[in-house]
Amino acid sequence: MSPLDPYAVAEVLGRALEALGVPYYLGGSLASSLPGEPRSTNDVDMVVELSLGLAERLAANLGEDFEVDVEDLKAAVRLRRSTQLYFLQSFTKVDLYICGESDLDRDSMRRRRRFTLLSGATLWISSPEDTIVRKLYWYRLGQEVSDRQWRDVLGMLRVGRGDLDRTYLVRAAELAGIADLLAEAERDVGP
């Protein structure tokens, strides 16, 4: 894969996380494109269960491939927030989200799936149901104006119709406070 390919960037980061035993999954538009309708994106969204003790080791392991602000990474772990990394070969931005502690966050990490890329490499990715819920959540936070988020959700619902765990999807949408958006998206997709 080309270093300009965001999946190649995710692959490099995934290998570094796995070498340290750090649970992770690929989220965002890259994750929604795999079981949904493909679309281009310029960044990588990764959710990690990173401990403070491993933050410096991760930064050291990524040092040649990524620009990493070690202090910002440690602050992100302490405050359970996101930070950014940059892949130096292509200047691809990685939004690294520290996994939260809610039931929904824990369920998302537990339900992640192994996916084989065209390169033959494997990555952990967010389950389709969790990706839909997160996309709808971000859509709501953005005042429901992002056509990209909405189209990603509709694409995943269309492609995954019979394969989605509907019981989990509805429960997760209720927990996230976006059950109304899920119902609207399902109406838009139709039977």
- Per-residue pLDDT of 102-135, as tens digits, reads 999 999 999 999 999 888 989 999 999 999 999 9
Whether 36 has a pLDDT exceeding 90, the answer reads no
144 CB-side CA count, 13 A: 7
Within a 13 Å sphere around the CA of 136, how many CA atoms are in the beta-carbon half?
Answer: 28
What is the tens place of the pLDDT at every residue in 152-163? 899 899 988 789
Structure tokens at 109: 């990490």
Percent of the chain at pLDDT exceeding 70: 95
* Structural domains in the chain plus CATH codes: 6-125 (3.30.460), 128-189 (no CATH)
How many residues comprise the chain? 191
Residues 142-149: what's their mean pLDDT?
Answer: 85
174: pLDDT strictly greater than 80: yes
Which pLDDT value is given to residue 53?
92
Between 6-20, 22-36, 174-188, the lowest mean confidence (pLDDT) is in 22-36
Note whether 129 and 111 are within 8 A (CB): yes
Average pLDDT, the chain: 91
The bridge status of strand 92-98 relative to strand 43-48 is parallel
Q: What is the pLDDT of residues 77-103, one digit of tens each?
A: 999 999 999 999 989 999 999 999 999
- Cβ-contact 45, 27 below 8 angstroms: yes
* Biggest distance spanned by C-alpha atoms of the chain: 50
Q: Are 41 and 92 in contact (CB under 8 A)?
A: no
Q: What's the pLDDT score for residue 144? A: 84
Asked whether residue 35 carries a pLDDT value surpassing 80, the answer given is no
Of the pLDDT bands very low, low, confident and very high (cuts 50, 70, 90), residue 1 is: low
Q: What is the mean pLDDT of residues 41-50?
A: 91
The answer to whether the beta carbons of residues 12 and 43 sit under 8 Å apart is: no
Mapped onto helix, strand or coil, the DSSP state of residue 153 is: helix
